[in-house]
Chain A
Amino acid sequence: MTLTVPKGSVTGLLGPSGCGKTTLMRAIVGVQIVAAGDVTVLGASAGSAPLRSRVGYVTQAPSVYGDLTVVENLHYFARIVGVSAERVTEVTEIVGLGGRESQIVASLSGGQRARVSLASALLNEPELLVLDEPTVGLDPVLRGELWRTFHQLAERGAALLVSSHVMDEAAECDELLLMRDGALLEQVSPAALRERTGEQDLGQAFLRVIEQAEAKA
């Protein structure tokens, strides 16, 4: 399969739980053992050494050190990717954690922990940012803020691939990748999807796409 995540845009990877979104994202980042075939990302083999500073990955469960403070976590990842301490302050502001720098991560709320994890991935401004369900379990206000952050990052030139199993988040994306049962059904913009299926609700539109795919098969 080939999929395109255009520069300067947010591409949503949508599909029901268990359809293979995480596996696809892990394959793109290069941490998934792929049963067969090769994965090529940005012209190089997925997960190869040169890509490790060009592709950022945020797992669904926040992967940061719970026994360190916010700023200690970020300083460690900053030293690995080789960026300055000023950048730590910048990403802390970007994810809205200013003022919480010296708080132990384990004592933060789930949503705040998720943002520490996200901030760690933003440090070196990766060209491709792969985010696995970054808004799951967050309150609507915070979710809205994060989506604004994603679009700001895209405006700065990054390509974002964001997964979600909630169809109402599809409207936030510039491009959609629809997935079901381990297969990529199609890549389409929300507007084109609405137009072609005649459904205003993107959840209903996704159902039409599934019906059409099944009719073909």
Chain B
Amino acid sequence: MSARVTLATAHRVLLQIRHDPRTVALLVVVPCLLLVLMRYVLDDREQTFQQIGAPLCGLFPFIVMFLVTSITMLRERTTGTLERLMTLPLAKLDLLGGYALAFGLLATVQAVAVCLVGFVALGLDAPHGAVLIGALAVANALLGMALGLFVSAFAQTEFQAVQFMPAFILPQLLLCGLFVPRDAMAPLLESLSWALPLTYAYDALDRATDPAALDGALAGDVLAVAGFAAAALALGALTLRRRTA
């Protein structure tokens, strides 16, 4: 692994993003608008907006990075650039690290924008500081990136890759406890939710937006998110094959 190649890859991914300003605008503006929409849909239910809106600020980057990464990596596979990279002196970790750096930076921009709208403009409470939510958002974005990278190996077309969003992400959103507390679900679903990465990502955000004092449980959640991300990255690295049929 080489820092030069990792940085070159991050630079290349950022250049690709820069050539597509509309995508960048959508990445930053859409989550902010959705948050505003939610604020006024829940106009009479300020408590519900606080409960859902605050954690959602940290979940948007997860959803978006999952989608962006799975499609970008799929393009690398289908246009032959991945095969070219695999014939060059580039370690798989250089490629993954480059992606993580570039998308991590993009996720930071997105998280800052969403947090500004949510915690400053719309008056959401961040009892432990909006910076904590922003940091969790970036961690979740890297989790989304790692999962997107992994599932991109199972898509042959961009249509399929887009369909993985509802298939992989929506069930996790429903089961993570954001809309309904997990202990109110059917027991089987509650057990299942323990195995899903988004459950820990949401739990961390829930604690970070709860006025109660923070304890070790938050650290446990963050560790779980990091563990899931590392496992997905390792599985993703396995799907980057030097040799193909």
Contacts and interface: CB of A to CB of B under 8 A. Distances in A.
Interface of A: 29-33, 47, 49, 52-53, 55, 57, 59, 61-68, 72, 76-77, 79-82, 104, 120
Contacts of A62: 80
Contacts of A65: 12, 16, 79, 81
B88 A55 contact: no
A134 B86 CA distance: 20
Interface of B: 4-5, 8-9, 11-12, 15-16, 19-20, 79-81, 83-90, 242-245
Contacts, number: 76
B148 to A, nearest CB: 18
Contacts of A57: 84, 87
Instruction: Report, nearest first, the 6 A-B pairs whose CB atoms are least far apart.
Output: A63-B80, A79-B8, A76-B12, A63-B84, A52-B89, A33-B243
Contacts of B11: 76
A94 to B, nearest CB: 18
A68 B79 contact: no
Contact of B12 (A30, A72, A104): A72
11 contacts: A33-B245, A47-B242, A57-B87, A59-B80, A63-B83, A67-B20, A72-B12, A80-B88, A80-B89, A81-B88, A104-B19
Given A64-B81, A65-B12, 17 more contacts: A30-B87, A31-B86, A31-B87, A31-B243, A31-B244, A32-B244, A32-B245, A33-B244, A57-B87, A63-B80, A65-B16, A68-B12, A68-B16, A76-B9, A76-B11, A80-B5, A120-B84
B16 A52 contact: no
A77 B5 CA distance: 9
A30 B83 contact: no
Nearest to B91: A49
Contact of B83 (A59, A72, A81): A59
Given A63-B79, A68-B19, A49 B89 contact: yes
Given A31-B244, A57-B84, A64-B81, A80 B19 contact: no
Contacts of A66: 79
B239 to A, nearest CB: 15
Contacts of B9: 76
A64 B83 CA distance: 11
A159 to B, nearest CB: 16
A79 B15 CA distance: 15
A79 B244 CA distance: 25
Contacts of B8: 76, 79-80
Nearest to A53: B89
